[in-house]
Amino acid sequence: MKTAKEIQDTVKELFEKESFIQQPKELYDPIDYTLALGGKRLRPTLLLASCEMFGGDICLAASAAVGIEVFHNFTLLHDDLMDKSPLRRGKETVYRRWNENIAILSGDTMFALAYRYFLRQWHPNMEAILKTFTETAIGVCDGQQYDMNFESQSDVSIADYMKMIELKTAILLAGAMKIGALYAEASEKDIDTLYRAGISIGLAFQLQDDLLDAYGDVAVFGKQTGTDIKDNKKTYLYLKALQDADSTQQQTLRQLFATTPENPEEKIKTVIGIYNQLNIKQKVEQEIDRLFDEGQKLINAISVGEERKTTLKQIINQLLGRKI
């Protein structure tokens, strides 16, 4: 059975073997640039680790692992354009390096390429695999639209936000894990349990990302901090602060999240100051811990030997910065 590092090395090798450079270069150079930025490659790693956990042949799932990462990077490319983000993984975003039209078309091509990768290798569960990927892709787009809606919607609740990030972020992690299990032909019950674990872990991961946006180091985080505040994103931090704030703090938060100043530094500083007064960082960390524990309990309930769960657990712990 492969270790977490061996799975990660396998994913790295898969992308080293792929070439995304072809004609017309204006279309494919941005794709190659995006995928060369690397990142953690979490989704393909989780896909292969899930397949491995159930005793599947990860060679059969290799092309799907590439496909899921190509799709993920398509969503990032379009997200950066919609959010007008200047940096991704510490590098200039595609729409800034090229232009908006190229970012749209290159992203569209990446979506199609993802399906091509899935279709490279036939599998008895191919119908279920493609159905899972398709429903996951639609859900991610649904989540992105809700995210944009929330920017101008005043009555967003924490429950609304959690549903949105389940769609936008968590279902892609959970979907990758489910696809890996489908390649291993795991039982329906175990696949469902693993998927629910992936949702909990994905929610924890997104809340951690929200936390890093407010409190992270740009050199480590790889993109500008304070972007969610600048863009009036109603994240868990904002909604929890609004819930726990007194009337004066609530009024200040609502007023600030209705503005888009040219120089947002003072706005960001004031909002984080209120977060600090309300211990929002600690409260978000508690919710991350709760979701993480929920995901771990579900993985523990899967009907394979504990030794076969070790690699997947290691990867999830690395994902959330925990030790196993």
Residue 108 has pLDDT above 80, yes or no: yes
Predicted confidence at residue 317, as pLDDT, reads 92
Tokens representing 240 are: 């929890």
Residue 216: predicted pLDDT: 81
Do the domain assignments include residue 51? yes
Q: Above 60 in pLDDT, residue 98? A: yes
- Torsion angle of alpha carbons 255, 258, 261, 266, nearest 10°? 40
324 assigned to some structural domain: no
pLDDT above 70 (res 219) = no
**Is the Cβ–Cβ distance between 107 and 113 less than 8 Å?**
no
- More confident position, 324 or 36: 36
Bond from prior residue into 86 cis (ω within 30 degrees of 0): no
Give the pLDDT mean for 188-200: 98
Using 50, 70 and 90 to split pLDDT, how confident is the model at 323?
very low
Count of domains forming the chain: 1
Radius of gyration of the chain from its Cα atoms, rounded to whole angstroms: 20
Residue of 306, 288, 308 whose CA lies nearest to 236: 288
132 domain-assigned: yes
Task: Residue 225: give its domain's CATH number.
Answer: 1.10.600.10
User: What range does the domain containing 253 cover?
Assistant: 4-319
74 assigned to some structural domain: yes
Is residue 186 assigned to a domain? yes
- The string of pLDDT tens digits covering residues 38-89 is 888 999 999 999 999 999 999 999 999 999 999 999 999 999 999 888 888 8
Q: Residue 305's pLDDT is what?
A: 96
Q: What pLDDT digit, counting tens, does each position of 153-177 carry?
A: 889 999 999 999 999 999 999 999 9
Q: Which of 277, 283, 182 is nearest to 240 (CA)?
A: 283
Check whether 256 has a pLDDT greater than 80.
yes
Examine the pLDDT at 222 and tell me if it is beyond 80. no
Query: Is 275 inside any structural domain?
Result: yes
Is this model's pTM higher than 0.95 or not? no
Residue 218 pLDDT exceeds 70: no
Banded pLDDT at 189 (limits 50, 70, 90): very high
